[in-house]
Structure formats: C-alpha cells, structure tokens
Amino acid sequence: VTALSSGGLTTGVASPGGVSSSGGLRRFGSARWRRRNLTFDKISFFLVFLVIPVAFYIAFVVSPFVQAAYFSLTDWTGFTPAMNFIGLSNYAKLFTDATFLQAMANNILMAIVVPIVTLGLAMFFATLVTVGGSTRGNIRGLRNSSFYRVISFFPYVIPAIVIGLIWSQIYDPSAGLLNGILTRLGLEQFTSFAWLGNPHTARWAVMFVIIWGLVGFYMVLFIAAIKGVPAEVFEAARIDGAGRFRTAISITIPLIRENVQTAFIYIGILALDAFVYMAALEPGGGPDNTTLVMAQELFNTAFTKGQFGYACAMGVVLAVITLAYAGLVFAVNRIFGGKSEVGE
C-alpha cells in the first residue's frame, strides 16, 4: 500500500496539471500504468476514497476474519501466546459435537420461524395502516393509523437486553405476570408453569419475545416502502375489483420486493445470532438445550472452557451459515422473478 500511494503522491505533487507519464510512474514498469493519466486529482481521489477505506477495512474487518479462520485451525487456549497448528481437527470435532449441532439446529429453526412470522405480521400491519382502510374514497389506512404506527414501534426503542429482562420477569413461574393472568382466568394448570423451563415451550417463548421486539421496526420499514408506491396503482387494482388480501399479495409485495428481501436478510442474521435475547432469557441454554444458540456455545467454549481455537471454528461455521442464508434469500427472490441486483 505504501509503495503505491507514496510513489503516486510524489508524482502528483511534483507535477500538478496532468502530466501523463512522469518519472515517478515508470517505477511501476507496466505499460498500462504509463498510459494512464495519473493526475493529482486522480491520485488524491484514489487515496481518499479507495486506499484509506480499504486499508481500514482490511485492518479492522478482513484481518480479524482471516485471523479467526487461522485460529480455528489451532489448539489455542486463548490465554497463551503459543498455539499449535492442528489442521481441520477442530472442524471434525465440531460435526460430532452433539451440543453444537443442537445449537445449530435451534438457530436454523429460529432463522426460519422468526423472519416468516415477524415479516408476515409486519406486512399485515403495514398494509392495514397504509392501504387497508375504508374502500371508499382515497386509498388510506385504518382510522388512527398513525397512533398504531407509533405504538407498535415502541418495543424497538427498548434495547434488546432490556426486552429480555422484562420478559424473563413476565415469564417467571411463580411471580410472573403471564401466569398471574392465566391463573386468574381460572387456568389452574399454569400455576408455577415454567414457560422458559419446559422443553416444549421454551423455544417458542423466546421466539415470541424476539418477534414482539421486532415487528414494529419492520412494520415501519414496510410502511415507508408502501408509501413509495404511487396510490394510482392501488386505485387501479381496486377498480379492477381486487380486495385487500389480493391487493397485498399481487400489488404490494411484488412492488416492495427489494425491501422485503433486505428485511429478510437483516432479521435472519439477527435470528442466527440472538445472543443478547438468550443471554437475558436463557443464559444456560434452556431446558434440554432447546434454546441454546451457536453464539452462546461459542462464548462458553471460549471463555469458560478455554478452547479459543475450537470456538473460532464455531465462529467460522456460524459465518458460513449466515452467508449461506443470505445466498438462499437472494436465490429464492430470483426464482420468484425478482431482479437480483440489489442496491442499484
């Protein structure tokens, strides 16, 4: 990096005004470089918008990744300067480690359920608030829709860890709000029922909390997207006799497809992580490890078991799964006719 930039800079400073082939450039030796007009403007543009960000990116993003990938091939304990290279045996161990595989399965289930339910609900509410109102007159949302919009955004304003702590109190078997209400309603079987301690309910209970916390945000996201669609489109659909459901399926979703895809990726990554929610709700992995997520197992392996090399291998697998998830979302979108070029 330094050779390129300092060499270039010298040239630029020495001969401002666009000398095409100065002495400084010849050092690169390539005919292609010589032909280019490397002016001060160009060089400074390269430097400010390319070299510095790339250097930062490599130093603080790429290099830790590379380092973690390397550590995953060692038996590093995390507390010594020394480590031994052991090849792929951490990975071999990983795929026979029942606890980790269970955590992986839990994460995958969450990455399927949480996005579908959250975005489904968010889309439902967003439609109601924007175009689901009276079928007479202008296209509009339900009455007082701005009130609902604000209310539903509230949970997102609360930090995830606080949401987790609030709900762990609500779920408390003996003193919690939920069982209090249920037993008051005469459902005696819920006396001291451990929502977070029963292997049949724990994972659904924590997923409910995550969904509760996120619906509002994605609803607002979808509202913004739907507002970007010209009202005439909806009016035309209505004149053609499309009901609210048909409008949502055939008009709204295809028109805001890119937003839905982005939302899917964001929330999927969150569901594959979920560490914060779990740290508050189920720090121990839940009953029979039904709520254990990979990030928790990674943390535990690194810091309590002192196996950083093995933990790095878990991290690499988690990263690969996340990328695969993103790839899957793109692929599904393309299959159903979306343009693959996102962000353009």
Per CB under 8 A, residues contacting other proteins are 1, 3-4, 17-18, 36-37, 39, 41-42, 45-46, 50-51, 54-55, 58-59, 62-63, 66-67, 70-71, 75-83, 86, 93, 98-99, 168, 171-175, 192-199, 202, 283-289, 300, 303-307, 310
Minimum Å gap between C-beta 27 and other proteins is 14
Q: How far apart are CA 321 and CA 108, in angstroms?
A: 9
Identify which of residues 86 and 242 has a Cβ nearer to other proteins in the complex: 86
Instruction: In angstroms, give the least distance from the CB of 337 to other proteins.
Output: 28
Single-letter residue type at 94? L
Give residue 271's identity as a one-letter amino acid code. Answer: A
Residue whose structure tokens are 């659904």: 204
Residue carrying structure tokens 């045996």 = 89
Min separation Cβ 24 and other proteins, Å: 16
Q: Are 73 and 88 in contact (CB under 8 A)?
A: yes
In which residue are the tokens 């289930």 written?
109
Q: Provide the minimum distance between the beta carbon of 202 and other proteins in the complex, in angstroms, as a whole number.
A: 8
Q: Which is nearer to other proteins, 255 or 279 (CB)?
A: 279
Q: Which long-range contacts (CB under 8 A, 24 or more apart) does 88-96 make?
A: 90/309, 90/310, 90/312, 90/313, 91/313, 91/317, 93/310, 93/313, 94/310, 94/313, 94/314, 94/317
Name which of 83 and 142 has its Cβ closer to other proteins: 83
Q: Closest separation between CB of residue 26 and other proteins, Å?
A: 17
| Smallest distance, other proteins to C-beta of residue 204, A | 13
CA atoms within 13 A of residue 47's CA, in its CB half-sphere: 17
Smallest distance, Å, CB 74 to other proteins? 9
- Asked if residues 102 and 292 have their Cβ atoms less than 8 Å apart, the reply is yes
* Cβ(254)–Cβ(179) below 8 Å: no
Q: Which is nearer to other proteins, 124 or 275 (CB)?
A: 275
**Residue nearer to other proteins on the CB measure, 98 or 239:** 98
Least distance from other proteins to the Cβ atom of residue 1, Å? 5
- Residue closer to other proteins by CB (options 67, 144) is 67
> Which residue type occupies 174?
S
What is the 3-state composition of the chain as percent helix, strand, coil, each rounded to the nearest 5? 70, 0, 30
SS3 call for 74 = strand
Give min distance, CB of 75 to other proteins, in A. Answer: 5
Q: Which is nearer to other proteins, 1 or 331 (CB)?
A: 1
The per-residue b/e assignment along 75-111, b for 16 or more CB within 10 angstroms, e otherwise, is bbebeeeebeebeeebeeebeebeebebbbebbeebb
Q: Which is nearer to other proteins, 193 or 217 (CB)?
A: 193
85: β partners = 74
Q: Which one, 80 or 340, has the nearer CB to other proteins?
A: 80
